[in-house]
């Protein structure tokens, strides 16, 4: 069964590209039905257009309040009739109403080994804290920031010579492996949420 996925992105969309590539290679049994973005300048739009994926722009700056923006976003998401929403560098915290509308149907990637270093600048947080391992986490989205059940994690060593940019680059390489893999497992119906744990079925 081919699943319908929609991607939310705010920026360059390199993780979005990794998912496009995996779909085109036949690795992910899904069709990307839309890119939804809050940023009309996002390079992710170029990636979507090259792949023939419809683009929905909901410019945050054009709304008088966050509430009005989220109402428009929710409507746009509902129109996609997607089995899964993929947050690939979407830089806004989703409101409770949106999260509750799509329970266990949204996944996010975060450049840290959750539950450590939530929020912005996770790579900088890791370096400043002095950890020896960093990495990325793919997780389901719930009502709390970077807190939903964890699907996959991948690690990288933190080198003494690292700065925020060099660590971020190595983590991003792992993100491009982990995110398509997690989306594939979802689309194959192999993920089961039991409490806080995500079990991967054979």
The answer to whether residues 187 and 179 touch, using CB atoms and an 8 Å cutoff, is no
Q: Taking the CA atoms of 47, 51, 57 and 60 in sequence, report the sign of the dihedral they define.
A: negative
DSSP helix/strand/coil, 97 = helix
Determine whether 176 is an active site residue: no
CA-CA distance, 138 to 110, in Å (whole number)?
7
Structure token digits, residue 197: 């744990």
69 Cβ neighbours under 8 A, 6+ residues apart: 38, 58, 60, 63
The answer to whether residues 104 and 193 touch, using CB atoms and an 8 Å cutoff, is yes
Nearest to 148 by CA among 85, 201, 202: 85
Catalytic residue among 104, 110, 139, 176: 110
Angular region, 16: left φ>0, alpha ψ -120 to 50, beta rest: alpha
Angular region, 119: left φ>0, alpha ψ -120 to 50, beta rest: left
Task: Just list the catalytic residues.
Answer: 110
């Amino acid at each position: 069964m081919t699943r319908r996925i929609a991607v939310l992105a705010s920026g360059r969309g390199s993780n979005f590209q990794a998912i496009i590539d995996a779909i085109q290679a036949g690795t992910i049994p899904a069709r990307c039905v839309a890119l939804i973005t809050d940023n009309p300048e996002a390079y992710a739009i170029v990636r979507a257009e090259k792949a023939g994926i419809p683009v929905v722009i909901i410019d945050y700056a054009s709304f008088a309040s966050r509430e009005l923006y989220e109402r428009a976003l929710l409507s746009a998401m509902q129109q996609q009739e997607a089995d899964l929403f993929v947050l690939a560098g979407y830089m806004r915290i989703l409101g409770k109403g949106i999260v509750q509308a799509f329970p266990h149907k949204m996944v996010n990637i975060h450049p840290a080994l959750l539950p450590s270093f939530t929020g912005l600048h996770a790579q900088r947080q890791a370096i400043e804290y002095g950890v020896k391992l960093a990495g990325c986490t793919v997780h389901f989205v719930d009502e709390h920031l970077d807190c939903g059940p964890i699907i996959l994690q991948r690690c990288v060593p933190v080198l003494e010579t690292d700065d925020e940019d060099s660590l971020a680059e190595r983590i991003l390489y792992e993100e491009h492996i982990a995110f398509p893999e997690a989306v594939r497992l979802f689309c194959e119906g192999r993920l089961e949420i039991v409490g806080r744990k995500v079990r991967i079925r054979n």
